[in-house]
Amino acid sequence: MTYDVVIPTLGRPSLTTLLAALGPGDGMVIVVDDGRRDAEPLDVPAWVTVVSGPRRGPAAARNAGWRASRAPWVAFLDDDVEPPSGWRAALAADLAAAGERTGAVQGRVRVPLPAGRRPTDWERNVAGLEQARWATADMAYRREALEATGGFDERFPRAYREDADLGLRVTAAGWRIESGAREVRHPVGPAKAWVSLAKQAGNADDVSMRALHGRGWRARAGVPPGRRARHLAVAAAGATAAGAAAARRGPRRLAPLAGAAWLAGTLELAWARIAPGPRTPREVERMVWTSALMPFMAAGWTLHGLATLPRRLRGVPRRPAAVLFDRDGTLVVDVPYNGDPERVEPMPAAHGALARLRASGVPTAVISNQSGVARGLLSAEQVEAVNDRVEALLGPLGPWAWCPHGPDDGCECRKPAPGLVLRAAAALGVDPARCAVVGDIGADVDAARAAGARAVLVPTAQTRHEEIEAAPEVARDLEEAVERLLS
Protein backbone atom coordinates (compact mmCIF):
# COMPACT_ATOMS: atom_id res chain seq x y z
CA MET A 1 0.00 0.00 0.00
CA THR A 2 1.69 3.19 -1.22
CA TYR A 3 -1.06 5.77 -0.88
CA ASP A 4 -4.54 6.49 0.43
CA VAL A 5 -6.94 9.02 -1.08
CA VAL A 6 -8.70 11.60 1.12
CA ILE A 7 -11.76 13.50 -0.14
CA PRO A 8 -13.43 16.06 2.15
CA THR A 9 -17.05 16.69 1.15
CA LEU A 10 -20.16 18.60 2.04
CA GLY A 11 -22.21 16.00 0.18
CA ARG A 12 -22.28 17.69 -3.21
CA PRO A 13 -23.66 15.59 -6.11
CA SER A 14 -20.27 15.82 -7.82
CA LEU A 15 -18.89 13.34 -5.22
CA THR A 16 -20.75 10.50 -6.95
CA THR A 17 -19.12 11.38 -10.27
CA LEU A 18 -15.70 11.56 -8.64
CA LEU A 19 -15.97 8.17 -6.92
CA ALA A 20 -17.27 6.52 -10.08
CA ALA A 21 -14.27 7.87 -12.02
CA LEU A 22 -11.81 6.93 -9.27
CA GLY A 23 -12.97 3.36 -8.73
CA PRO A 24 -11.52 0.86 -6.24
CA GLY A 25 -7.81 0.17 -6.19
CA ASP A 26 -4.74 0.01 -3.99
CA GLY A 27 -5.06 1.76 -0.66
CA MET A 28 -8.06 3.26 1.06
CA VAL A 29 -10.40 5.93 -0.27
CA ILE A 30 -11.40 8.01 2.74
CA VAL A 31 -14.35 10.38 2.37
CA VAL A 32 -14.61 12.91 5.18
CA ASP A 33 -18.29 13.77 5.67
CA ASP A 34 -18.12 17.41 6.76
CA GLY A 35 -21.77 18.23 5.97
CA ARG A 36 -24.70 19.11 8.22
CA ARG A 37 -25.12 16.97 11.32
CA ASP A 38 -28.76 16.22 10.49
CA ALA A 39 -28.02 15.29 6.87
CA GLU A 40 -28.66 11.84 5.48
CA PRO A 41 -25.66 9.43 5.53
CA LEU A 42 -23.53 9.59 2.42
CA ASP A 43 -24.42 7.08 -0.28
CA VAL A 44 -21.01 5.74 -1.27
CA PRO A 45 -19.69 2.41 -2.61
CA ALA A 46 -18.69 -0.32 -0.17
CA TRP A 47 -14.98 0.16 -0.92
CA VAL A 48 -15.10 3.75 0.42
CA THR A 49 -14.37 4.49 4.08
CA VAL A 50 -16.44 7.36 5.51
CA VAL A 51 -15.02 9.42 8.37
CA SER A 52 -17.14 11.94 10.26
CA GLY A 53 -15.69 15.41 9.85
CA PRO A 54 -15.25 17.95 12.67
CA ARG A 55 -17.26 20.57 10.69
CA ARG A 56 -14.69 23.29 11.24
CA GLY A 57 -13.77 23.87 7.60
CA PRO A 58 -11.68 22.09 4.95
CA ALA A 59 -8.40 22.22 6.88
CA ALA A 60 -9.87 20.32 9.82
CA ALA A 61 -11.62 17.89 7.45
CA ARG A 62 -8.39 17.08 5.62
CA ASN A 63 -6.61 16.55 8.93
CA ALA A 64 -9.30 14.09 10.00
CA GLY A 65 -8.83 12.25 6.72
CA TRP A 66 -5.07 11.85 6.67
CA ARG A 67 -4.96 10.92 10.35
CA ALA A 68 -7.36 8.07 9.57
CA SER A 69 -4.92 6.87 6.91
CA ARG A 70 -1.86 4.69 7.49
CA ALA A 71 -0.23 4.87 4.06
CA PRO A 72 3.14 6.60 3.52
CA TRP A 73 1.49 8.98 1.02
CA VAL A 74 -1.88 10.75 1.26
CA ALA A 75 -3.47 12.08 -1.94
CA PHE A 76 -6.02 14.84 -1.41
CA LEU A 77 -8.78 15.44 -3.95
CA ASP A 78 -11.56 18.03 -3.93
CA ASP A 79 -15.02 16.52 -4.21
CA ASP A 80 -15.78 18.36 -7.47
CA VAL A 81 -12.86 17.14 -9.60
CA GLU A 82 -13.06 14.40 -12.23
CA PRO A 83 -10.05 12.08 -12.49
CA PRO A 84 -9.54 10.59 -15.97
CA SER A 85 -9.08 6.91 -16.63
CA GLY A 86 -5.63 5.88 -15.45
CA TRP A 87 -5.37 8.53 -12.73
CA ARG A 88 -4.41 5.99 -10.08
CA ALA A 89 -1.59 4.60 -12.21
CA ALA A 90 -0.37 8.13 -12.95
CA LEU A 91 -0.43 8.96 -9.23
CA ALA A 92 1.57 5.83 -8.43
CA ALA A 93 4.12 6.80 -11.09
CA ASP A 94 4.43 10.33 -9.69
CA LEU A 95 5.05 8.98 -6.19
CA ALA A 96 7.53 6.37 -7.40
CA ALA A 97 9.55 9.15 -9.06
CA ALA A 98 9.62 11.29 -5.90
CA GLY A 99 12.99 11.76 -4.25
CA GLU A 100 13.75 11.27 -0.56
CA ARG A 101 13.34 14.99 0.13
CA THR A 102 10.11 15.32 -1.85
CA GLY A 103 7.39 16.17 0.65
CA ALA A 104 4.54 16.52 -1.84
CA VAL A 105 3.71 15.97 -5.50
CA GLN A 106 1.08 18.19 -7.08
CA GLY A 107 -1.19 17.08 -9.89
CA ARG A 108 -2.24 19.30 -12.77
CA VAL A 109 -5.72 20.79 -12.73
CA ARG A 110 -7.52 21.43 -16.02
CA VAL A 111 -10.56 23.74 -16.01
CA PRO A 112 -12.74 23.37 -19.13
CA LEU A 113 -13.97 26.76 -20.33
CA PRO A 114 -16.86 27.30 -22.75
CA ALA A 115 -16.09 27.27 -26.44
CA GLY A 116 -17.38 30.04 -28.66
CA ARG A 117 -17.43 32.82 -26.04
CA ARG A 118 -15.22 34.51 -23.51
CA PRO A 119 -15.33 33.16 -19.95
CA THR A 120 -17.25 34.97 -17.24
CA ASP A 121 -15.60 36.48 -14.17
CA TRP A 122 -16.48 33.38 -12.12
CA GLU A 123 -15.21 31.01 -14.79
CA ARG A 124 -11.90 32.89 -14.91
CA ASN A 125 -11.72 32.70 -11.13
CA VAL A 126 -12.05 28.91 -11.16
CA ALA A 127 -9.61 28.65 -14.09
CA GLY A 128 -6.99 30.20 -11.80
CA LEU A 129 -6.63 26.73 -10.28
CA GLU A 130 -4.60 25.75 -13.34
CA GLN A 131 -1.77 28.04 -12.19
CA ALA A 132 -2.30 27.76 -8.43
CA ARG A 133 0.72 26.49 -6.53
CA TRP A 134 0.10 23.79 -3.90
CA ALA A 135 -3.66 23.63 -4.52
CA THR A 136 -5.20 20.64 -2.77
CA ALA A 137 -7.63 19.97 -5.61
CA ASP A 138 -5.09 17.23 -6.45
CA MET A 139 -2.12 17.12 -4.09
CA ALA A 140 -0.29 14.14 -2.60
CA TYR A 141 1.65 14.72 0.63
CA ARG A 142 4.19 12.40 2.18
CA ARG A 143 2.92 11.32 5.58
CA GLU A 144 6.28 12.12 7.14
CA ALA A 145 5.98 15.74 5.94
CA LEU A 146 2.44 16.02 7.32
CA GLU A 147 3.51 14.61 10.67
CA ALA A 148 6.56 16.84 10.81
CA THR A 149 4.50 20.00 10.28
CA GLY A 150 1.30 19.01 12.06
CA GLY A 151 -0.81 19.00 8.90
CA PHE A 152 -3.25 21.73 7.89
CA ASP A 153 -3.66 24.75 10.17
CA GLU A 154 -7.27 24.64 11.35
CA ARG A 155 -7.30 28.34 12.15
CA PHE A 156 -7.91 28.87 8.41
CA PRO A 157 -11.66 28.16 8.28
CA ARG A 158 -12.13 28.64 4.53
CA ALA A 159 -10.84 26.91 1.42
CA TYR A 160 -8.60 29.81 0.60
CA ARG A 161 -5.15 29.88 2.22
CA GLU A 162 -4.85 26.65 4.21
CA ASP A 163 -3.10 25.02 1.26
CA ALA A 164 -0.55 27.83 0.84
CA ASP A 165 0.11 27.87 4.59
CA LEU A 166 0.90 24.14 4.63
CA GLY A 167 3.06 24.45 1.53
CA LEU A 168 5.13 27.21 3.13
CA ARG A 169 5.63 25.20 6.30
CA VAL A 170 6.54 22.02 4.43
CA THR A 171 9.11 23.77 2.23
CA ALA A 172 10.48 25.71 5.21
CA ALA A 173 11.06 22.37 6.93
CA GLY A 174 13.38 21.37 4.08
CA TRP A 175 11.04 19.36 1.85
CA ARG A 176 10.45 19.92 -1.85
CA ILE A 177 7.04 20.19 -3.48
CA GLU A 178 7.17 18.96 -7.08
CA SER A 179 4.77 18.83 -10.01
CA GLY A 180 3.64 15.43 -11.25
CA ALA A 181 2.39 14.26 -14.64
CA ARG A 182 -1.11 13.24 -13.55
CA GLU A 183 -4.04 15.58 -14.01
CA VAL A 184 -7.70 16.00 -13.11
CA ARG A 185 -10.55 17.91 -14.68
CA HIS A 186 -12.24 20.61 -12.56
CA PRO A 187 -15.57 21.71 -14.08
CA VAL A 188 -16.88 25.18 -13.30
CA GLY A 189 -19.83 24.78 -10.97
CA PRO A 190 -22.76 27.15 -10.55
CA ALA A 191 -22.30 30.23 -8.40
CA LYS A 192 -24.50 32.95 -6.96
CA ALA A 193 -24.42 36.45 -8.42
CA TRP A 194 -22.59 37.72 -5.33
CA VAL A 195 -19.90 35.01 -5.25
CA SER A 196 -17.14 37.55 -5.89
CA LEU A 197 -18.21 39.46 -2.79
CA ALA A 198 -18.26 36.31 -0.66
CA LYS A 199 -14.71 35.55 -1.80
CA GLN A 200 -13.50 38.78 -0.17
CA ALA A 201 -13.60 36.96 3.17
CA GLY A 202 -10.20 35.62 2.17
CA ASN A 203 -8.71 39.03 3.00
CA ALA A 204 -9.03 38.10 6.67
CA ASP A 205 -6.98 34.96 6.03
CA ASP A 206 -4.35 37.04 4.26
CA VAL A 207 -3.87 39.02 7.47
CA SER A 208 -3.12 35.75 9.27
CA MET A 209 -0.75 34.66 6.50
CA ARG A 210 1.22 37.89 6.86
CA ALA A 211 1.42 37.43 10.64
CA LEU A 212 2.49 33.79 10.39
CA HIS A 213 4.83 33.88 7.39
CA GLY A 214 6.10 37.45 7.06
CA ARG A 215 5.86 40.10 4.38
CA GLY A 216 7.14 38.00 1.49
CA TRP A 217 4.71 35.10 1.88
CA ARG A 218 2.90 35.77 -1.42
CA ALA A 219 6.06 35.53 -3.51
CA ARG A 220 7.19 32.34 -1.75
CA ALA A 221 3.77 30.73 -2.13
CA GLY A 222 3.33 31.84 -5.75
CA VAL A 223 0.23 33.89 -4.90
CA PRO A 224 -0.49 36.88 -7.19
CA PRO A 225 -0.33 40.30 -5.49
CA GLY A 226 -4.08 40.89 -5.84
CA ARG A 227 -5.91 44.20 -5.59
CA ARG A 228 -6.22 44.67 -1.85
CA ALA A 229 -4.20 47.90 -1.77
CA ARG A 230 -6.41 49.40 -4.48
CA HIS A 231 -9.55 48.09 -2.79
CA LEU A 232 -8.54 49.79 0.46
CA ALA A 233 -7.80 53.05 -1.35
CA VAL A 234 -11.14 53.05 -3.18
CA ALA A 235 -13.04 52.16 -0.01
CA ALA A 236 -11.25 54.95 1.86
CA ALA A 237 -12.18 57.41 -0.90
CA GLY A 238 -15.82 56.32 -0.78
CA ALA A 239 -15.98 56.57 3.01
CA THR A 240 -14.31 59.98 2.93
CA ALA A 241 -16.76 61.23 0.31
CA ALA A 242 -19.75 60.03 2.35
CA GLY A 243 -18.37 61.47 5.58
CA ALA A 244 -17.47 64.80 4.01
CA ALA A 245 -20.88 65.14 2.37
CA ALA A 246 -22.56 64.57 5.72
CA ALA A 247 -20.42 67.15 7.50
CA ARG A 248 -21.90 70.56 8.14
CA ARG A 249 -18.77 72.57 7.55
CA GLY A 250 -15.16 72.37 6.46
CA PRO A 251 -14.72 68.82 5.20
CA ARG A 252 -17.69 69.08 2.84
CA ARG A 253 -15.37 70.49 0.19
CA LEU A 254 -13.58 67.14 0.16
CA ALA A 255 -16.70 65.31 -0.95
CA PRO A 256 -16.43 66.00 -4.70
CA LEU A 257 -12.73 65.08 -4.83
CA ALA A 258 -13.12 61.93 -2.76
CA GLY A 259 -16.27 60.99 -4.66
CA ALA A 260 -14.48 61.37 -7.97
CA ALA A 261 -11.64 59.16 -6.72
CA TRP A 262 -14.14 56.52 -5.58
CA LEU A 263 -16.02 56.62 -8.90
CA ALA A 264 -12.79 56.38 -10.92
CA GLY A 265 -11.60 53.42 -8.86
CA THR A 266 -14.95 51.66 -9.13
CA LEU A 267 -15.16 52.14 -12.89
CA GLU A 268 -11.57 50.92 -13.32
CA LEU A 269 -12.36 47.76 -11.33
CA ALA A 270 -15.58 47.15 -13.21
CA TRP A 271 -13.91 47.50 -16.60
CA ALA A 272 -11.00 45.28 -15.56
CA ARG A 273 -13.58 42.55 -14.88
CA ILE A 274 -15.85 43.28 -17.85
CA ALA A 275 -13.23 43.62 -20.59
CA PRO A 276 -12.00 39.97 -20.67
CA GLY A 277 -15.51 38.56 -20.28
CA PRO A 278 -18.45 37.87 -22.58
CA ARG A 279 -19.90 41.39 -22.01
CA THR A 280 -23.47 40.18 -22.01
CA PRO A 281 -26.00 42.53 -20.33
CA ARG A 282 -26.34 40.16 -17.37
CA GLU A 283 -22.57 39.85 -16.88
CA VAL A 284 -22.05 43.61 -17.20
CA GLU A 285 -24.78 44.29 -14.66
CA ARG A 286 -23.21 41.89 -12.16
CA MET A 287 -19.75 43.33 -12.65
CA VAL A 288 -20.95 46.90 -12.12
CA TRP A 289 -22.84 46.43 -8.87
CA THR A 290 -20.39 43.94 -7.36
CA SER A 291 -17.47 46.23 -8.28
CA ALA A 292 -19.17 49.08 -6.41
CA LEU A 293 -19.36 46.93 -3.25
CA MET A 294 -16.18 44.87 -3.56
CA PRO A 295 -13.67 47.44 -2.17
CA PHE A 296 -15.83 47.91 0.94
CA MET A 297 -16.15 44.15 1.42
CA ALA A 298 -12.38 43.73 1.06
CA ALA A 299 -11.73 46.54 3.53
CA GLY A 300 -14.25 45.16 5.99
CA TRP A 301 -12.77 41.67 5.93
CA THR A 302 -9.26 43.09 6.25
CA LEU A 303 -10.31 45.04 9.36
CA HIS A 304 -12.02 41.93 10.68
CA GLY A 305 -8.82 39.96 10.17
CA LEU A 306 -6.80 42.56 12.05
CA ALA A 307 -9.32 42.79 14.87
CA THR A 308 -9.54 39.03 15.37
CA LEU A 309 -5.87 38.26 14.76
CA PRO A 310 -4.93 37.96 18.47
CA ARG A 311 -7.79 35.49 18.99
CA ARG A 312 -6.99 33.53 15.83
CA LEU A 313 -3.33 33.20 16.77
CA ARG A 314 -3.95 32.58 20.44
CA GLY A 315 -3.05 28.93 19.94
CA VAL A 316 0.42 29.79 18.63
CA PRO A 317 2.98 29.14 21.37
CA ARG A 318 5.59 31.79 22.09
CA ARG A 319 8.23 29.97 20.14
CA PRO A 320 10.82 30.99 17.56
CA ALA A 321 9.81 31.36 13.92
CA ALA A 322 12.82 29.19 13.03
CA VAL A 323 15.77 27.47 14.70
CA LEU A 324 19.19 27.87 13.07
CA PHE A 325 21.76 25.23 14.02
CA ASP A 326 25.52 25.33 13.86
CA ARG A 327 26.83 22.19 12.19
CA ASP A 328 30.14 20.98 13.67
CA GLY A 329 29.99 20.38 17.40
CA THR A 330 26.24 20.99 17.47
CA LEU A 331 24.43 18.73 15.01
CA VAL A 332 27.40 16.44 14.33
CA VAL A 333 30.60 15.60 16.15
CA ASP A 334 33.28 18.18 15.37
CA VAL A 335 35.94 16.73 13.06
CA PRO A 336 38.25 19.67 12.21
CA TYR A 337 38.15 20.58 8.49
CA ASN A 338 36.22 17.43 7.66
CA GLY A 339 35.81 16.73 3.96
CA ASP A 340 34.97 13.04 4.31
CA PRO A 341 31.24 12.19 4.49
CA GLU A 342 32.07 8.83 6.07
CA ARG A 343 33.39 10.60 9.18
CA VAL A 344 30.08 12.36 9.88
CA GLU A 345 28.57 11.28 13.21
CA PRO A 346 25.40 12.89 14.64
CA MET A 347 25.50 14.30 18.15
CA PRO A 348 23.68 11.97 20.59
CA ALA A 349 20.56 14.15 21.07
CA ALA A 350 20.30 15.45 17.51
CA HIS A 351 17.62 13.04 16.27
CA GLY A 352 15.31 13.64 19.22
CA ALA A 353 15.70 17.43 19.09
CA LEU A 354 14.98 17.61 15.37
CA ALA A 355 12.00 15.27 15.67
CA ARG A 356 10.51 17.55 18.32
CA LEU A 357 10.92 20.63 16.12
CA ARG A 358 9.44 18.88 13.09
CA ALA A 359 6.45 17.70 15.10
CA SER A 360 5.91 21.28 16.25
CA GLY A 361 6.13 22.66 12.72
CA VAL A 362 9.12 24.91 13.45
CA PRO A 363 11.39 25.23 10.40
CA THR A 364 15.13 24.83 10.68
CA ALA A 365 18.30 25.86 8.85
CA VAL A 366 22.04 25.30 9.25
CA ILE A 367 24.65 28.07 9.54
CA SER A 368 28.27 26.98 9.46
CA ASN A 369 31.78 28.47 9.23
CA GLN A 370 33.95 26.44 6.84
CA SER A 371 37.24 28.28 6.80
CA GLY A 372 38.97 25.11 5.57
CA VAL A 373 38.02 26.25 2.07
CA ALA A 374 39.94 29.52 2.46
CA ARG A 375 42.86 27.66 4.04
CA GLY A 376 43.08 25.25 1.10
CA LEU A 377 42.23 22.25 3.26
CA LEU A 378 38.78 21.65 1.76
CA SER A 379 36.96 22.20 -1.50
CA ALA A 380 33.43 23.56 -1.77
CA GLU A 381 32.41 20.20 -3.23
CA GLN A 382 33.69 18.42 -0.14
CA VAL A 383 31.74 20.75 2.14
CA GLU A 384 28.57 20.08 0.14
CA ALA A 385 29.20 16.32 0.25
CA VAL A 386 29.50 16.43 4.05
CA ASN A 387 26.34 18.58 4.26
CA ASP A 388 24.49 16.00 2.15
CA ARG A 389 25.66 13.25 4.48
CA VAL A 390 24.41 15.21 7.51
CA GLU A 391 20.94 15.39 5.95
CA ALA A 392 21.07 11.73 4.96
CA LEU A 393 21.61 10.88 8.64
CA LEU A 394 19.39 13.50 10.28
CA GLY A 395 16.73 14.22 7.65
CA PRO A 396 15.92 17.48 5.85
CA LEU A 397 17.30 20.50 7.72
CA GLY A 398 16.10 23.37 5.56
CA PRO A 399 18.36 25.98 3.92
CA TRP A 400 22.12 25.74 4.37
CA ALA A 401 24.16 28.91 4.77
CA TRP A 402 27.91 28.41 5.11
CA CYS A 403 30.89 30.71 4.94
CA PRO A 404 34.07 29.66 3.06
CA HIS A 405 36.17 32.58 4.32
CA GLY A 406 38.97 32.71 6.84
CA PRO A 407 39.10 34.81 10.02
CA ASP A 408 41.20 37.53 8.35
CA ASP A 409 39.13 37.89 5.16
CA GLY A 410 36.88 40.58 6.59
CA CYS A 411 33.66 39.05 5.27
CA GLU A 412 30.23 39.80 6.72
CA CYS A 413 29.09 36.19 6.82
CA ARG A 414 31.64 34.44 9.03
CA LYS A 415 30.37 34.04 12.59
CA PRO A 416 30.48 36.03 14.89
CA ALA A 417 29.24 38.40 12.14
CA PRO A 418 25.48 38.14 11.57
CA GLY A 419 25.60 37.38 7.83
CA LEU A 420 24.80 33.67 8.00
CA VAL A 421 21.91 34.26 10.40
CA LEU A 422 20.48 36.95 8.13
CA ARG A 423 20.92 34.77 5.04
CA ALA A 424 19.21 31.75 6.59
CA ALA A 425 16.34 33.87 7.93
CA ALA A 426 15.84 35.40 4.48
CA ALA A 427 15.80 31.95 2.88
CA LEU A 428 13.09 30.90 5.32
CA GLY A 429 11.19 34.18 4.91
CA VAL A 430 11.19 35.00 8.64
CA ASP A 431 12.34 37.94 10.74
CA PRO A 432 15.87 37.30 12.13
CA ALA A 433 14.69 38.72 15.44
CA ARG A 434 12.19 35.83 15.69
CA CYS A 435 14.87 33.18 15.09
CA ALA A 436 16.88 31.19 17.62
CA VAL A 437 20.48 30.13 17.05
CA VAL A 438 21.80 26.96 18.68
CA GLY A 439 25.56 26.47 18.74
CA ASP A 440 28.48 25.22 20.76
CA ILE A 441 30.87 28.19 20.88
CA GLY A 442 30.80 31.92 21.58
CA ALA A 443 30.89 32.85 17.89
CA ASP A 444 27.45 31.25 17.47
CA VAL A 445 26.08 33.27 20.38
CA ASP A 446 27.65 36.50 19.12
CA ALA A 447 26.29 36.00 15.60
CA ALA A 448 22.79 35.54 17.04
CA ARG A 449 23.12 38.69 19.15
CA ALA A 450 24.40 40.69 16.19
CA ALA A 451 21.33 39.68 14.17
CA GLY A 452 18.92 40.29 17.05
CA ALA A 453 18.14 36.58 17.39
CA ARG A 454 17.86 34.43 20.50
CA ALA A 455 20.91 32.32 21.34
CA VAL A 456 21.21 29.01 23.17
CA LEU A 457 24.66 27.57 23.84
CA VAL A 458 25.09 23.79 24.03
CA PRO A 459 28.65 23.38 25.33
CA THR A 460 31.04 20.57 24.42
CA ALA A 461 34.46 19.70 25.80
CA GLN A 462 35.93 22.28 23.40
CA THR A 463 33.73 25.17 24.60
CA ARG A 464 35.73 27.66 26.70
CA HIS A 465 34.61 28.46 30.24
CA GLU A 466 34.31 32.17 29.48
CA GLU A 467 32.01 31.41 26.54
CA ILE A 468 29.70 29.46 28.84
CA GLU A 469 29.71 32.26 31.40
CA ALA A 470 28.87 34.88 28.75
CA ALA A 471 26.05 32.93 27.08
CA PRO A 472 22.49 34.19 27.78
CA GLU A 473 21.13 30.62 27.82
CA VAL A 474 22.94 27.31 28.28
CA ALA A 475 21.46 23.85 27.68
CA ARG A 476 22.86 20.46 28.57
CA ASP A 477 22.19 18.99 25.11
CA LEU A 478 20.17 19.64 21.96
CA GLU A 479 16.98 18.14 23.34
CA GLU A 480 17.10 20.46 26.34
CA ALA A 481 17.82 23.41 24.03
CA VAL A 482 14.77 22.64 21.92
CA GLU A 483 12.64 22.12 25.02
CA ARG A 484 13.64 25.61 26.17
CA LEU A 485 12.72 27.10 22.81
CA LEU A 486 9.33 25.42 22.61
CA SER A 487 8.27 25.86 26.25
Residue (of 250, 245, 249, 272) closest to 260 by Cα position: 245
Q: What are the helix (H) ranges across 28-142?
A: 58-67, 87-96, 121-127
Instruction: Say which of 328, 440, 444, 446 is annotated catalytic.
Output: 328
The answer to whether residue 43 is catalytic is no
The residues, any chain, with a CB within 8 Å of residue 106's CB and separated by 6 or more, are 133, 134, 135, 138, 139, 140, 177, 178, 179, 180
Count of Cβ atoms closer than 10 Å to residue 121 Cβ:
20
- Evaluated on CA atoms 205, 208, 213, 217, the torsion sign reads positive
Is residue 168 exposed (0-12), middle (13-18) or buried (19+ Cβ within 10 Å)? buried
Catalytic position from the list 326, 440, 444, 446: 326
- Strand, coil or helix: 365: strand
DSSP secondary structure string, 24-46? Answer: S-SS-EEEEE-S-TTSPPP---T
Is 328 an active-site residue? yes
Beta partners for 456? 438
Distance of CA 430 to the CA centre of its chain: 13
The Cα–Cα gap between 236 and 240 comes to: 6
Cβ–Cβ contacts within 10 Å for residue 227, how many? 15
CB-count burial class (<10 Å; 0-12, 13-18, 19+) for 294: buried
**Residues 399, 424 contacting (CB under 8 angstroms):** yes
Residues with a catalytic annotation lie at: 326, 328
